[in-house]
């Protein structure tokens, strides 16, 4: 009680201050997180997005009502949109909230905009579908489940004759959608009054072979009479008719889509400002198994845009009719794929059509392609769909030296569909062992990889060992339907001398082999310690790990197994302490992200494990 009373006194004192946070205080916009008439400001005046911890935040949540009106809540990421009382300054409120237990972050409610540029004249041909070989993909495509694409945008004109049959609906006919601009207390309005969301929806999944208008990339096959119903659209309204929204509306839309059955989230929008709320929402959706596709932006620079820059998102650049990166497209190593985005013909409200340009147009082309793959092979994970899209690409031409990520290219849905099993019989591709050196008596993991996903009844691989007395394997392994790899255990025995064992995998006259060295145990020698230097590094840099034994290693050395708790820091599978030495070092490589991560590195030898922690900064 004393804490609450003191907090109230502090808040009353704060009312007297008129500090600003990056700008002068502005008038309050109408609606929950809706931009005001003027969108010149980078964020909505007098609004904050506040993220709270899952526990221990009772006082913090109560305090939100003291400093303003709660205009929206995002339960999945435990964040709130607060309209601050006009007599309080944003900075003083920020200082007040930061002192409370349970507050994770406070940020302005940044504005988010659609990434598109309307263009005339009207183009009567859809060159993009030809470029990405959509018709060839449709010939192989046979849907086995319904896939839902959430168009997280300005709504969809669900009465458009090219879209009406592609909208997800409840059994009683009501549209299955969400309106983040008006999230509380009434039925949402999913209609698109500006056109941006409708244009993106048509690119992804306009009805095909209906003698009307245009064709979306997802999807149609004449041998499947109901194929048009296999991929459906969910309108998730986060932008107004001017194509403007906020980080809070976008985070709400992403979270709702992830919680309500959307498989693919198409995000033709963004901002140059980092937002923890959007970062949390993107990570939440990915963890729930969604695939997120985001426009890279139209600023003609390599500056990151959000949400595209977040690692769970496929960041999409735009190319033109000649497969050249467009002059307006974002570029840089962080961009994952390119797709046609200039002069793209698609649907607009009121039964109309037009060609628009932007990475906004490239984004739903990739999202629709993902739906083609996933409806064909529903056993794939979101990561597997992403890998197929990003690796099975065609070359593109950089624009004046501007390029996207190394090894990346322009979308080819036909090749990507083949990569996930359409029209191709899998073959045994590779066999790997981890680790490749082990002290006898310790386990090893073997992994077989196929050239394409396994068929409906799986794919069986025969296994054998050249020295069963040192290392044994199962007689066979079945790769599950839809998967391209599977693992099996290798059991090793104690040996008196170093023994090299060949593990062989065979299927359909194809053999793959890998070597395993089984080492004798060293009686009396144990793993003493593991150290890391430095213990804190920026992402993308390296650290050094050192293992120490209790006594010098014998002839042949001692192999110590290594593992990391996170992909933010990667280690080799093992390190060998040379004969006569007591120590050996190894390199830890890290990668950058938008958060700080504490990674545990573990070393193991003779059933003894030692661990140390490494902090990886942004």
Length of the chain: 618
Pairing of strands 476-479, 459-465: antiparallel
Are 388 and 420 in contact by the 8 Å Cβ rule? The answer is yes
Are 424 and 418 in contact by the 8 Å Cβ rule? The answer is yes
Q: From the CB of residue 75, how many other CB atoms can be counted at a distance below 10 Å?
A: 11
Alpha helix (H) residue ranges in 307-445: 359-376, 382-391, 413-419
| Catalytic residue chosen out of the listed positions 153, 280, 320, 336 | 153
Say how far apart CA 490 and CA 447 lie, in whole Å.
Answer: 10
Active-site residue flag, 162: no
Bridge partners of 352?
A: 348
**CA dihedral (566, 567, 568, 572) positive or negative:** positive
User: What ranges make up the beta strands (E) of 42-201?
Assistant: 43-52, 68-74, 79-84, 103-114, 117-118, 147-153, 178-179
Alpha helix (H) residue ranges in 35-86: 58-67
Are 522 and 555 in contact by the 8 Å Cβ rule? The answer is no
* Structure-block tokens of residue 112: 């988010």
Backbone angles phi, psi at 365, to 5 degrees: -65, -40
Are 547 and 560 in contact by the 8 Å Cβ rule? The answer is yes
User: What ranges make up the beta strands (E) of 384-539?
Assistant: 393-394, 410-411, 428-434, 437-439, 443-450, 459-465, 471-472, 476-479, 485-492, 499-507, 510-519, 527-533, 536-537
| Catalytic residue chosen out of the listed positions 89, 154, 160, 196 | 196
Active-site residue flag, 476: no
* Structure-block tokens of residue 278: 């959007």
Alpha helix (H) residue ranges in 413-555: 413-419
Residue 365: name the closest of 338, 383, 347, 391 by CA.
338
Q: How many helices (H) and strands (E) does the chain have?
A: 11, 36
Alpha helix (H) residue ranges in 260-381: 276-287, 359-376
Chain-centroid distance of CA 461 in Å reads 32
Backbone angles phi, psi at 106, to 5 degrees: -135, 130
Active-site residue flag, 229: no
| Catalytic residue chosen out of the listed positions 63, 360, 564, 574 | 360
Say how far apart CA 519 and CA 556 lie, in whole Å.
Answer: 8
Instruction: Indicate which residues carry an active-site annotation.
Output: 153, 196, 360
């Amino acid at each position: 009680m004393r804490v609450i009373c003191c907090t109230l006194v502090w808040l009353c004192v704060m009312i007297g201050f008129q500090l600003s946070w990056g700008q002068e205080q502005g008038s309050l916009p109408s609606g929950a997180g809706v931009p005001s008439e003027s969108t010149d400001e980078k964020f909505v005046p007098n609004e904050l997005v506040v993220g709270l911890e899952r526990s221990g935040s009772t006082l913090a949540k109560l305090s939100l009502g003291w400093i303003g009106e709660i205009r929206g809540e995002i339960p999945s990421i435990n964040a709130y949109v607060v309209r601050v009382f006009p007599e309080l300054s944003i900075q003083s409120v920020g200082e007040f909230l930061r002192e409370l237990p349970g507050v994770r972050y406070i940020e302005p409610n940044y504005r988010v905009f659609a990434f598109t540029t309307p263009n005339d004249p009207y183009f009567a041909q859809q060159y993009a579908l030809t470029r990405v070989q959509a018709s060839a993909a449709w010939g192989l495509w046979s849907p086995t489940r319904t896939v839902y694409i959430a168009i997280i945008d300005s709504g969809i004109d669900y009465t458009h004759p090219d879209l009406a049959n592609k909208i997800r609906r409840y059994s009683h006919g009501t549209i299955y959608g969400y309106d983040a601009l008006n999230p509380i207390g009434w039925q949402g309005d999913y209609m698109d009054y500006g056109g941006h969301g409708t244009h993106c929806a048509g690119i992804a999944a306009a009805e095909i072979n209906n003698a009307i208008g245009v064709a979306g990339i997802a999807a149609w096959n004449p041998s499947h009479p109901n194929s048009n119903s296999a991929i459906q659209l969910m309108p998730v309204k986060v932008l107004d008719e001017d194509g403007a929204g906020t980080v809070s509306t976008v985070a709400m839309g992403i979270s709702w889509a992830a919680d309500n059955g959307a498989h693919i989230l198409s995000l033709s929008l963004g901002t140059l400002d980092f937002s923890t709320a959007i970062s949390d929402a993107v990570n939440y959706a990915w963890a729930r198994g969604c695939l997120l596709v985001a426009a890279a932006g139209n600023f003609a620079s390599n500056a990151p845009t959000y949400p595209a820059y977040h690692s769970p998102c496929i960041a999409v650049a735009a190319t033109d009719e000649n497969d050249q990166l467009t002059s307006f497209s974002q570029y840089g190593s962080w961009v994952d794929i390119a797709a046609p985005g200039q002069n793209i013909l698609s649907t607009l409200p009121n039964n109309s059509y037009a060609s628009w340009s932007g990475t906004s147009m490239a984004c739903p082309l990739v999202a629709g392609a993902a739906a083609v793959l996933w409806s064909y092979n529903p056993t794939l994970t979101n990561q597997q769909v992403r890998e197929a899209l990003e690796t099975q690409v065609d070359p593109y031409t950089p624009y004046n030296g501007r390029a996207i990520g190394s090894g990346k290219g322009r979308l080819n849905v036909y090749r990507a569909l083949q990569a996930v099993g359409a029209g191709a019989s899998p073959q045994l591709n590779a066999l790997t062992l981890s680790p490749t050196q082990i002290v006898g008596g310790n386990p090893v993991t073997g992994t077989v990889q196929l050239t394409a996903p396994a068929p409906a009844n799986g794919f069986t691989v025969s296994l054998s060992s050249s020295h069963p007395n040192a290392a044994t394997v199962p007689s066979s392994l079945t790769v599950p339907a839809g998967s391209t790899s599977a693992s099996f255990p290798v059991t090793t025995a104690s040996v008196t001398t170093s023994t090299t064992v060949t593990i062989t995998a065979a299927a359909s006259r194809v053999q793959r082999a890998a070597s395993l060295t089984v080492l004798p145990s060293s009686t009396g020698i144990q793993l003493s310690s593991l150290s890391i230097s430095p213990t804190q590094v920026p992402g993308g840099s390296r650290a050094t790990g050192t293992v120490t034994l209790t006594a010098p290693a014998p002839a042949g050395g001692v192999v110590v197994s290594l593992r990391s708790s996170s992909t933010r820091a990667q280690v080799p599978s093992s390190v060998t302490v040379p004969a006569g030495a007591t120590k050996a070092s190894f390199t830890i490589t890290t990668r950058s992200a938008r958060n700080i991560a504490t990674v545990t590195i573990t070393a193991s030898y003779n059933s003894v494990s030692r661990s140390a922690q490494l902090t990886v900064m942004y």
